[in-house]
Amino acid sequence: MAIGELKIMTGSANPGLAKEICNHLGCELTQCLTDTFSDGEIRVEIGSNVRGADVFVVQPTCAPVNFHLMELCILLDALKRASVGRVTAVVPYYGYARQDRKVAPRAPISAKLVADFLTVAGIDRLVTVDLHAGQIQGFFNLPVDNIYAAPVLLEHLRKTNDDIVMVSPDAGGVERARAYAKRLGASLAIIDKRRDAPNQARAMNVIGDVKGKAAIVLDDMIDTAGTITAAADVLMESGAKDVMACATHAVLSGPATERLQKSHYSQVIVTNSIPVGNKAEKCPKLQVLSLASLLGKAIHNIHTESSVSVLFV
């Protein structure tokens, strides 16, 4: 089947990123009304003809998560009922990804439930960035492109002139930190961590040599910043010359910005997968890098039926 005209749409979660993507692709953002009725129900109305078009809907499911997820599903339903040719959900931040398996009796697998929501709503493909758990791709019976933010983050990290050590804040992130360390020609260290409760962690000690080096703590997201600020304390106690934090998704809930501003970090590098807004004013250490070029290239390659993986070679 021939692929129709490329169109980019967005909900209310991150219109700034969608507009940047359009600038990179040289196209206009397809007009779409997203509003609410007086009782809070979401109202959506697509402002132009999308019949047979190849539509990409940019909508991270960030806070308020439930609202943005529901808005995305309603957008997808509207497109399907408007006879869209193909619809791809571009979800830079995939909410509910932390509940990807049963870790306790009678617990849900929310990441799978969200996958079912999006599938029933009518997506033909999903594009996301740095999934919290790679196996979430298997929750969909359709193509999933898990884009890595590494090219954007590495370009910035290469500007660091000091001797670098990449640090994983826990055992689960070692593979990610090792990949960055290999690209930067840096050494690797791991924080031995004990999690006391959800969103609470106590860093214990450092495995690896960080003395006299610029330690870069790498994670996929910063939520309340408890884990990552505790890591900074331990690294400085272990003799690190400087500490920086690097993460794809700036969730930054609760006391996160205050914690980061008071922490030992000289820089906190994140992307605009989630809009940071006025949080950057509260925490001047935040440096926000744009994913627009990377996502724009991925969208272009998907639209033209080209390889997406060539972006990460």
Of 7, 193, 213, 297, the catalytic one is 193
In the chain, how many H helices and how many E strands? 9, 14
Whether 19 sits among the annotated catalytic residues: the reply is no
Copy the structure tokens of residue 270: 């994140």
Calpha distance 211→198 (Å, rounded): 31
Select from 301, 269, 274, 311 the least CA-distant residue to 286: 269
- Residue 244 in contact with residue 263, Cβ under 8 Å? no
- Residue 273 in contact with residue 60, Cβ under 8 Å? yes
From the CB of residue 153, how many other CB atoms can be counted at a distance below 10 Å? 23
- Residue 273 in contact with residue 129, Cβ under 8 Å? yes
Q: Which residues contact 124 (CB under 8 A, 6 or more apart)?
A: 86, 87, 88, 142, 143
Catalytic sites, residue numbers: 193
